[in-house]
Structure 1
Amino acid sequence: MATGGPKPPAQKPLAARLGILSVFYLVQGLPFGFQAKALPVYLATHGLSLTHIGFAGAVSAPWLLKPLWAPLVDRFGSARFGRRRSWIVPLQAALASTCLGLAFVPAEALLLFLAMIALTNLFAATMDIAVDGLAIDMLAPEELGWGNIAQVVAYKVGMQIGGGILLWASQWIGWRGLFEAMSALIFVALIVTLIWRERGTAPSPSESPPAARASVRAMLSTLYKALASPGGLALLAVVATYKIGESVSDAMFEPFLVRYASWGEARIGLILGVYCMFFSLAGSFLGGWLATRVGIYRALVGFAIARTLSIGAIVWLASLAPGAIGDTEVVLAKGLEELAGGGLTTAMFAFMMSRVDRRIGATHYTLLAGVEVLGKAPGGLLSGVLADALGFVGTFATGLGISLVCLPLLALVRQRPSARPDSASA
């Protein structure tokens, strides 16, 4: 039974392990990139109100609800095919098929379109459980910084493709071509996954349905211990609040460019989905590097402060006249926010991963990730209501204010040591 020690002796070199993890995280980023970047543009150009655009973010609900089925993913798996791989392969196939189906949904069937987008999130979120568990299985504690660089950077490259490059290319290939290209990329990743062979622990052949029920109890027990342990509530509070302000401003930024600055789809895809995403990728690299150099907590605080200041640049951008909002202004303002946000995300994910009990790594980490999504959800969903009521400047200023209010919460986890129950038995 694995007890959270260093990586098993049969593990491949770190570069090989990071490479396969990057493939998996990139696949997950493709549909989410479309939802986060391209979907608001699609809905805005089809005349939906800002309130409806904000509430369309509910299609990401599977990312919030995934802790409910995380124990099943963590417990069940084929020892012969691979504990995590036996989940990843069928989910990639289902995701590729759904993206291909989206290519043939007519524009007037908006509810069907959104339902299928939600389905892509269901497959990607469930895959994320297995991949996060695989990362915890494959990486030693001292490798987590590099692992989180691979996680965040690869995920954002997927977002850059799904919500940026393909959106920009849609002026030539159309929305159908966008989904067909996305499906083809996922199919290529599926072939790579089929060739790859998983190493590490697999469920015992003696495990049975009662063991699955025990894992549900283990999930609840883990949550209880996280709440009851010293600093447990503070940790959950920080994870839940560290990106609320950013979620408010981010959800309305693409509609702001469409409705206020009169930008087109291709321009948004190129500037936000490609140019600004490079700032985000640079921030992700910087966040992981600083986490390994100055410590995860210090990196987390530094990037949280920088991210808050960068939201102020978004408020400034919204205060300009529509004609004054050019490519340079958007790249500078949004690029700074993406740089700080990318570093913050990497540092926070490393912070979360450093706290998990490796015996139930996927379940424990998924619980923290679920709290993180739960914290961001209200801001994104209500951003459209705020924009209709306060305008874009008021909405972005609200995001800035919330971010400022949440900053002091980071001090609550400063003295909390990174401890894992399993480490004591290693």
Structure 2
Amino acid sequence: MNAQAVRLLGRQMLFGWLNFALALPSIYLLLGMPLVMRQHGWSGTEIGLFQLAGLPAVFKFLLALPVERWRFAGAHYKSWALLLCLGLAATLLLVGRQELLDRHALFFALTLLAGVLAAWTDIPVNALAIKLLPESERVRAGAIRSAALFLAAVVGAGLMLLVHAHWGWQAPFILMSAALLLGALLLALLGESSMPRPLSAARNSRESGWRGYFQQPGAMLWTCLLLSCFPFIGASWLYLKPLLLDQGMPATQVAWIAGFGGGVIGALSSVASGRLQRWLGVARAVPLFSAFALLALATLTALVWGGVGTSGLVVGAALVAAAMGAISSLVFGLMMFFTRQQRQAADYGLQTSLFVVSRLAVPVAAGLLLDHLGYGGMLLGLTLAMLGVCALALFAGPPLARITERQRGAPERCAANTTCP
């Protein structure tokens, strides 16, 4: 590997680690801690209301505004990322000072603060990744980010609970703070500069506001796909644990299959899908990955309708986890192509807000289907919705491919052209 390749790989690993470290606290507090809360007598309503601490992720489009407007001289995004990383690490250490399971209001307030800081830090970190990584590396960056989030789910909702059980309340918060501080230290050594952009990109960057985002070529089509390609497969995964429990599977076995096993499969699928997408190209990857998600949903639906039992459902769970990894890798990679120069944070924040809103809304509708039609009816509804997404993906693939290929080629041509601004 030459020096350029080593430098790019180092940046990819750094941003992957930062995404892992930023996701870990929210996953531990919102998905892991409810088990401990229940053991300490929290009611179902209290645990449910505690989940509202995850709402800041919906408002990333607002959190991105001060990142764009209040600029540090020189390393703008890096300075924001460092400042917020240190704030989040300090908040986690504050939460870990003493056990807060009997102080519900204080625990919720600090968890909400941690949620705001985690969502806020994610914006300059990924805006910096978009700014520093060349367009040819964006597919790989999406795959690494997706894998990092799946691994954070494994660690946050699994291994951190074991750490808590063996070493007490403080240990998980110390480890999570250390992970953030390590990322911040490595980030401080990173210079903030970017590849030169063509004149059209420079003009596009001056179109401020969210209206400018939607005026980008293909942005409306991409937004429709962004809102629809993940939530249906994601909703099936959300209800998979209750499904396995209702089929008579022990809770510990459900945790291993849908927690540890699903997270590992999703991470591996993310990495493999990134490589496959680079080989297939966007025009073919978009419809093929959507079709894979449709296949996973249809298979799980057929298994439930057929009453195959828990062993067959394990196969369905593995397919759903792999499809989630593939779709996540695709989405996170393509999001990076629809950010304007000097507006990376705002455009990334807007896209992630839209992604989170759709991811939260679809499970509500799926829950209504579950209550009225059972698991088979719910999964059939999700499968039919995914069939519509596949039709959209088939239509969207070629236009999105032209946009991403044009963006990849433009900087290279610009760098070779001495008259390019």
Corresponding residue of 2:298: 312
CA distance change for structure 1 residues 361 and 10 in 2, over 3 Å: closer, same or farther? farther
**In structure 1, distance between residues paired with 2:334 and 2:346:** 16
**In structure 2, distance between residues paired with 1:38 and 1:320:** 33
**In structure 2, distance between residues paired with 1:144 and 1:181:** 32
Q: How many residues align?
A: 393
Q: Which one-letter code corresponds to 1:225 in the other structure?
A: Q
Corresponding residue of 2:189: 197
Conserved 8 A contact 2:142-2:333 = yes
**How far off is 1:26 after superposition?**
0.9
Q: Deviations over 1:169-193 (max 9, x none)?
A: 66x338x54x732442332331342
Q: Deviations over 1:237-279 (max 9, x none)?
A: 1111112212322222233345553633x54443323222121
**How far off is 1:21 after superposition?**
0.9
Q: Which one-letter code corresponds to 1:220 in the other structure?
A: W
**In structure 2, distance between residues paired with 1:69 and 1:386:** 34
**In structure 2, distance between residues paired with 1:258 and 1:94:** 39
**In structure 1, distance between residues paired with 2:208 and 2:102:** 45
**In structure 1, distance between residues paired with 2:136 and 2:270:** 18
Corresponding residue of 1:96: 89
**In structure 2, distance between residues paired with 1:21 and 1:62:** 21
**How far off is 1:39 after superposition?**
6.0
Conserved 8 A contact 2:143-2:332 = no
**Alignment match of 1:141 (pick from 122, 135, 142):** 135
Deviates more, 1:253-262 or 1:282-291: 253-262
Aligned with 1:359: secondary structure?
coil
**In structure 2, distance between residues paired with 1:216 and 1:48:** 49
**How far off is 1:162 after superposition?**
0.5
**How far off is 1:151 after superposition?**
1.7
Q: Which one-letter code corresponds to 1:64 in the other structure?
A: V
Corresponding residue of 1:242: 229
Q: Percent identity?
A: 19
**How far off is 1:135 after superposition?**
0.6
**Alignment match of 2:238 (pick from 245, 251, 273):** 251
Q: Does residue 1:356 correspond to 2:342, yes or no?
A: no
Corresponding residue of 2:7: 13
CA distance change for structure 1 residues 344 and 35 in 2, over 3 Å: closer, same or farther? farther
CA distance change for structure 1 residues 61 and 415 in 2, over 3 Å: closer, same or farther? same
**In structure 2, distance between residues paired with 1:294 and 1:70:** 33
CA distance change for structure 1 residues 131 and 193 in 2, over 3 Å: closer, same or farther? same
Corresponding residue of 2:417: none
**In structure 1, distance between residues paired with 2:64 and 2:233:** 27
TM-score by length of 2: 0.79
Conserved 8 A contact 1:77-1:86 = no
Conserved 8 A contact 1:21-1:131 = yes
Conserved 8 A contact 2:139-2:334 = no
Aligned with 1:358: secondary structure?
coil
Q: How does 1:104-183 map to 2 (within 5 A)?
A: 104=98, 106-107=100-101, 113-167=107-161, 172-173=165-166, 177=169, 180-183=171-174
Q: Deviations over 1:314-370 (max 9, x none)?
A: 335555879x42xx5454221211112111111122222123223322222222222
**In structure 2, distance between residues paired with 1:314 and 1:31:** 31
**In structure 2, distance between residues paired with 1:245 and 1:252:** 11
TM-score by length of 1: 0.78
- Aligned-residue Cα RMSD (Å) equals 3.7
Corresponding residue of 2:22: 28
**How far off is 1:102 after superposition?**
5.0
CA distance change for structure 1 residues 68 and 340 in 2, over 3 Å: closer, same or farther? same
Q: Deviations over 1:84-133 (max 9, x none)?
A: 33222333333334445555555466665555444333222111111111
Q: Deviations over 1:18-41 (max 9, x none)?
A: 121122111122134336753676
Conserved 8 A contact 2:37-2:101 = no
**How far off is 1:383 after superposition?**
4.1
Corresponding residue of 2:321: 338
**In structure 2, distance between residues paired with 1:137 and 1:143:** 11
Conserved 8 A contact 1:244-1:402 = no
Q: Which one-letter code corresponds to 2:350 in the other structure?
A: L
Conserved 8 A contact 1:152-1:284 = yes
Conserved 8 A contact 2:26-2:115 = yes
Q: Does residue 1:295 correspond to 2:281, yes or no?
A: yes
**Alignment match of 1:83 (pick from 76, 89, 93):** 76
Q: Deviations over 1:35-92 (max 9, x none)?
A: 675367668886638xx95x87654322221111213213435446x42332223333
Q: Deviations over 1:278-318 (max 9, x none)?
A: 21111111221112111123222211111121123433555
Unpaired runs of 5+ in structure 2?
Answer: 195-204, 415-419
Q: Does residue 1:405 correspond to 2:395, yes or no?
A: no
Unpaired runs of 5+ in structure 1?
Answer: 1-8, 203-214
Q: Does residue 1:284 correspond to 2:284, yes or no?
A: no
Conserved 8 A contact 1:96-1:186 = yes
**In structure 2, distance between residues paired with 1:384 and 1:115:** 28
